[in-house]
Structure 1
Amino acid sequence: MDKSFFSVYLVYGYNNLVKSLVALHLGATLCSLLSEYDMLFISPAKYLSKHHLRILSLYGIEKHFSFILMEDPLDQYNIVNSLLLFSSRKNLIVILDNFTIFPLRIYGSRRLNLKSQKAFVEQAAMIKHISRKNNTPFILTAPEHGDKPMYWRFIEKYVDRLYRVSIDGEIVKLTIVSKDLSLIGSYELGEIEDLVQEDLRKLMVNILERY
């Protein structure tokens, strides 16, 4: 078993749906590579889109998948903290969709004050700790702000692998990015409707094994 799979991944970009779908593809691929692992998808969205459901069907992991709705941004704080114990008892792959919603919703500003900065960094540190202690892969999504993930300077040291998603015309691109935000590799994934095609399974395995 490749220990590098037990990492903290960050998928960032401007399109929320595309970020979420790519994160789900990565999680589903890990689920197929790691035996006896279940996936936990935590999101502020009220329901999964038809694209999400088709990806789950594509990988055949519906029985190994759970969805948690974050109705209150404080839910994220409580859920992440509870995962320390929960993931020690059950093998989990955790997708935390829109990770940066926590400080944005609670403190109402993109500019973090000392209180919100401390709470946000504590969340990132806890995620990294759980990932290492319990062999729990985490896949986070975040908006792009300028040329980097939102709040990157606060969470950089807690992220192991970084992926940027963008749309060029109608084509979705996935770029593998180093910690200093330089380009490592780039792939065209097709149009949004193509993100549920079986061909992407081999590509995602290749990406996870190479990067």
Structure 2
Amino acid sequence: MAFDFSGLITFTPQRAIGPISAYVTMEEVGTDDLQITEHPVELGASVTDHAFKRPAEILIRCGWSNASLGGIAAILNGDASTIFGGGGVLFGSDYVSKIYAQLLALQASRQLFDVTTGKRLYRNMLMQSLSQTTDDKSENTLLVTVRCREVIIVQTQVTTLPPREDQASPAATAETVNGGIKQPAPAVPSPGGSAPPSSWTN
């Protein structure tokens, strides 16, 4: 039997890990690093050539509960045999287990997704690590720590260089040319230098 929850007041979560919305978020730690050269930079040179932006990272601690509105709705719309047991209503691990399975599947898919936090939208992310904690007080909840890392996407283009004869320094700027197979040549010692072993005498 299905229940109609259309008359209830719901709030759209602003935080999400890909398609998975967090029920409660305890902490978000975002990191943006710039890799800067340790070598000296010549005076007047462009400093931007000696530093590059590293992929952004975000660590999220969030959770879900079987006692939440989503957990209750999932149980009430499920099989009655999974609701009752042991003489009472079991808010078992059905709802939170499905959320955990979705997180694991998202990580295993290795498909890029977006992460929405309270401060920022992170694009082109992958789930680097996923850990969950269960103790005697959190049996019916799912508490996870998710670390996501950005994949920097670049776009390459193919271009045609001008003919070698039109270039001032073709050895440095011309396209790579297939020079064929090279064969090693025997070395000829300089006058007064070494001689092959066959000419040695005892």
TM-score of the pair, normalised by structure 1: 0.20
Would you tell me which structure has more helix in proportion to its own residues?
1
Larger Rg: 2
